Chain A
Amino acid sequence: MVDKTLPADERLNQMLVEYFDARDSGRTPSRDELLAMHPDLSDDSDLSEQIDEFLDNQQLFDRFSEALEVTAISAGQDTASVQGRATPDPSRPTVLGGDHRAAMFEPGVRFGDYEILEEIARGGMGVV
């Protein structure tokens, strides 16, 4: 329960802890549900405004965060049949496949929706 005698900022933080708890157990409360969890505070327009602001900010963060996710692309995303190409630098451990796979990356070769147009760089870090 949120203690009504606490300063407004602290009350909001307590509500957010409950919000995150609920979200972590797989049921993200809507704004109204979040406010409904605290009927005693429902007349506090300042608090509901701050909750709106928080949810907006979280949403914006999620949108930008998704952009980072897209550029980071982790394993398992349309990589099933794609083998990487080894770095030719002998001082580095061989991470992925060997040179014999180079043919897979010749211009014109297609990967799903993508087509290799040209090799843009080759060197110690591998072929881009």
Chain B
Amino acid sequence: MNHAAENLEDVVERYRQYLVMLADRQLDSRLRGKLDASDVVQQTLLEAHQNQEQFRGTHEGELVAWLRKILAHNLLDAIRGLRREKRDVAREQSIDAVIETSSVRLEGWLAVEDSTPSQKFTRQEEAVQLADAMARLPDAQREALILKNWHGWTVPEIAQHMGRSSTAIAGLLKRGLKQLRQQLTESE
């Protein structure tokens, strides 16, 4: 990455959808209605911009590792904020366990980010392509794909959650995958 030639802000912007999908992947699906991954990513990019003098890496892999780390911190903060908000609400108690699990997972993620050189992430470009393609899908298709493939929900569970029939969910998954293929093979 050439800092002189390219504005850090522009480079960072390229990873917006990647970070949103990463957050969606990490967040327990039961928290998805309570936390907006896009908001957390927006804050993350803002902080990256404000603190850009702290980034001293020399290539894009290091930059993305830095972004992931800010994101993980922000997600952790957001989840903890949720716990404070919900503390007195008895019917939200089951969410506590979910919050706890998510926090632990994010701490694990941070520990790995801290210790693993960015060179490991040779497949980052593919991940960014997938995230950008996912972002262009209709909301319902994206939601169904995320719940099915990344959170392991069954089709009837997704159907109930989205208020549609099982065959309608199968249709969303099928069309979503088809559209992703078109986009992914175009960019290959």
Contacts and interface: CB of A to CB of B under 8 A. Distances in A.
| Count class of interface residues, chain B | 35 or more
A114 B117 contact: yes
Interface stretch (B35-43, B48-56, B90-98): B48-56
Contacts of A10: 167
Given A67-B127, A73-B109, A14 B170 contact: yes
Contacts of B174: 12-13, 16, 54, 57
Contacts of A76: 108
Which of A16, A64, A69, A74 has the most CB atoms of chain B within a 10 A radius of its CB? A64
B127 A64 contact: yes
B43 to A, nearest CB: 12
A68 B114 contact: no
B51 A82 contact: no
A53 interface: yes
Contacts of A115: 117
Given A17-B155, A17-B170, A120-B62, A96 B68 contact: no
Contacts of B178: 53-54, 57
B29 interface: no
Nearest to A65: B149
B108 A126 contact: no
The secondary-structure label for the interface of chain B is helix
B160 interface: no
Contacts of B25: 68-69, 72
Interface of A: 9-10, 12-14, 16-17, 20-21, 24, 53-54, 56-58, 60-79, 82-85, 87, 92-93, 95-96, 105, 111, 114-117, 119-128
Q: Which 6 A-B pairs have the closest CB atoms?
A: A75-B108, A123-B54, A67-B126, A57-B177, A84-B111, A67-B123
Given A71-B22, A82-B115, 7 more contacts: A21-B155, A66-B123, A93-B80, A96-B110, A105-B114, A114-B120, A125-B70
Interface of B: 18, 21-22, 25-26, 47, 51, 53-58, 62, 64-66, 68-70, 73, 76-77, 80, 104-105, 107-117, 120-121, 123-124, 126-127, 129-131, 145, 148-150, 152, 154-155, 166-171, 173-174, 177-178, 180-181, 184-185
